[in-house]
Amino acid sequence: MSETSTPYTPASTSTTVAGNETVSLADEIKEYNTAKLIEYLRGQGLNLVKDDFDIIENERVGGQDFLNMTKQDFRDYGMKGGPAMRLAKFAKECKDKKLRSFSSYKTKKDLKKVLAKYGVEDGRITDIPQFTLKPHNIDDKNEALVHCLKDIRLRLRNMGPVVESNEAIRCEYISVILHACINIVRELTGKKISLNPQFEVVGEKNTGRVDYAIKALEELICITEGKQYQIAIGFAQVNRISCTSRNPLNIRFVETALEEGSEDEKELCKNVKRVMEVIVGLLRERVDVEKEPKNKKARVQEYLKKE
């Protein structure tokens, strides 16, 4: 994720020679309202303070306004010279920057390039670092767990089992589990955590929409995708690529699980609980890292890189 008075002209989505879609970062930012713009600017390392954000909020500056603003515009709003210059320079950089869409990564060659950035050479998926699961124990009578199981049964009655080719149905079940997990982590940590479906992620070089993003303290801490065979495994922390294939977790959403006391019902309850315990453990770890002092946070992140 990452002055002049030249008027801003929205750049249209283009296609490169290789067929990879690119989009201007400005095309993303121009859609931001004031709150979304402030949220985005907070994560850009611009060394802004509360007074700077208050000015943007009070003047109701939106994304399209921001892209057209000059240093003098910010100064006229009462901003100090330093932040005014940084914001104007950043606005210009945003207009010039092109991003590649996540959806354009389709070939083995694309995969190899992405994996190489994370130290996985030659595109060998088996070399992706695995991590040991650290589940958080959830009591069988936990309110969020009980509510989650009731919701899953309701969906089984209304929609039937998960159809491999239907991502929308898979996401219905995933959503229930994520909501329950977030509620548990919120109670454990006392921190504000939110689930954002169909979230638009804007990075340094890429952009795209993910099925779910989970945020804590205004920081994006993880994303998940509702892909086939990955009801729980499609869970990723944003600072690295890792996998859990050593200890795969799966849930079978089958109609026979609606039969009270059946083996399928017991299996469903057991596996939903296992998946929730893993997700709660991962989320709690990420929230704890975000709230730790910088020196301890750095040590934890260095440890994660070595896993």
How does pLDDT run across 199-237, given as a tens digit for each residue?
777 666 666 677 788 877 666 666 666 555 443 334 444
Residues near 22 by Cβ (< 8 Å), separated by ≥ 6?
13, 14, 15, 16, 98, 99, 100, 101, 104
pLDDT digits (tens, 9 = 90+) for 104-159: 666 777 777 777 777 777 766 667 766 667 889 999 999 999 999 999 999 988 98
Strand 219-224 to strand 206-216: parallel, antiparallel, or no bridges (unpaired)? antiparallel
Lowest mean pLDDT among 98-102, 109-113, 169-173, 294-298: 294-298
Domains present along the chain, CATH in parentheses: 14-101 (1.10.150.50), 127-306 (no CATH)
**Contact (CB, 8 A) for 268 and 253:** yes
The pLDDT-based confidence of 97 (bands split at 50, 70, 90) is confident
pLDDT at 7: 29
DSSP state of 243: B
pLDDT over 90 at 87, yes or no: yes
Lowest average pLDDT, out of 11-20, 40-49, 216-225, goes to: 11-20
pLDDT, mean over the chain: 75
- Indicate if the pLDDT at residue 88 is higher than 80: yes
- pLDDT for 217: 63
Output the pTM of the full model: 0.58
Token look-up 């991502």 returns 167
Residue 212 sits at φ, ψ, to 5 deg, of -145, 140
C-alpha distances (whole Å) from 215 to each of 25, 64, 151, 186 are 22, 25, 23, 11
